[in-house]
């Protein structure tokens, strides 16, 4: 049986990981790794250090599951990564332990719910696109106005900068540069 490693994360420097660290040590964590950064950030050096330190059979403990991932999909991916490395997960608040059959069942149920949610979003998107087409709308990126693009290239040929040409004609600067590359047109000096 491996050891229990704690992971604590807070979102801002104004917050303190001490409370989480104390609870994790009381639960039996032999070492606690921490991050002080938003859940939006995928870069978590403390979690990466924990993963590098952990050995097969160890358990990663968190106070709450939201400390480990900001979405169900991200959380499930992290748990799958833990499982691949031979690590279990314990969440103190939710009383989940993936080393037990019941804890693993709960995570499989979470996975099924996440899959269901992704399918619902996909179906709603398709329904929305179909409804827009019925109303005569054309969803997605609008086709490029060839006349505007030709006018922009003439302005560029007349020594107007691509940025200024894009601003005058209301099209994206990157669109002009892309078309210039496609046609082999050199940038004006």
What six digits make up the tokens of 126?
A: 């398709």
Q: Report which secondary-structure segment, H or E, holds 8.
A: strand 4-10
Please name the residues in contact with 32: beta carbons below 8 A apart, sequence gap of 6 or more: 5, 6, 7, 8, 20, 21, 24, 25
What six digits make up the tokens of 184?
A: 């082999």
The C-alpha angle 58, 113, 46, rounded to 5 degrees, equals 35
Are the C-beta atoms of 33 and 7 separated by less than 8 Å? yes
Q: Which of 11, 38, 161, 174 is catalytic?
A: 11
Are the C-beta atoms of 79 and 89 separated by less than 8 Å? yes
Sequence-distant contacts of 183-189: CB under 8 A, at least 24 apart: 183/153, 185/153, 185/156, 185/157, 187/156, 187/162, 188/156, 188/157, 188/159, 188/160, 188/161
Is 91 marked active-site? no
Q: What is the DSSP letter of 33?
A: E
For the annotated catalytic residues, the residue numbers are: 11
């Amino acid at each position: 049986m491996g050891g229990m490693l704690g992971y604590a994360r807070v979102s801002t420097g104004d917050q303190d990981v001490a409370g989480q660290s104390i609870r994790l040590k009381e639960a039996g964590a032999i070492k606690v790794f921490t991050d002080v950064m938003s859940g939006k950030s995928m870069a978590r050096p403390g979690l990466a250090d924990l993963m590098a330190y952990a050995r097969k059979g160890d358990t990663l403990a968190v106070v709450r599951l939201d400390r480990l991932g900001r979405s169900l999909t991200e959380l499930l991916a992290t748990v799958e990564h833990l499982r691949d490395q031979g690590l279990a997960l314990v969440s103190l608040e939710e009383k989940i332990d993936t080393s037990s059959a019941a804890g693993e069942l709960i995570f499989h149920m979470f996975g099924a719910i996440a899959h269901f949610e992704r399918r619902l979003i996909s179906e709603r998107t398709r329904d929305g696109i179909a409804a827009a087409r019925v109303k005569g709308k054309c969803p997605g990126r609008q086709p490029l106005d060839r006349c505007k693009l030709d006018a922009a290239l003439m302005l560029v040929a007349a020594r107007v900068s691509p940025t200024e040409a894009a601003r005058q004609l209301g099209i994206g600067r990157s669109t002009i540069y892309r078309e210039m590359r496609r046609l082999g047109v050199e940038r004006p000096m």
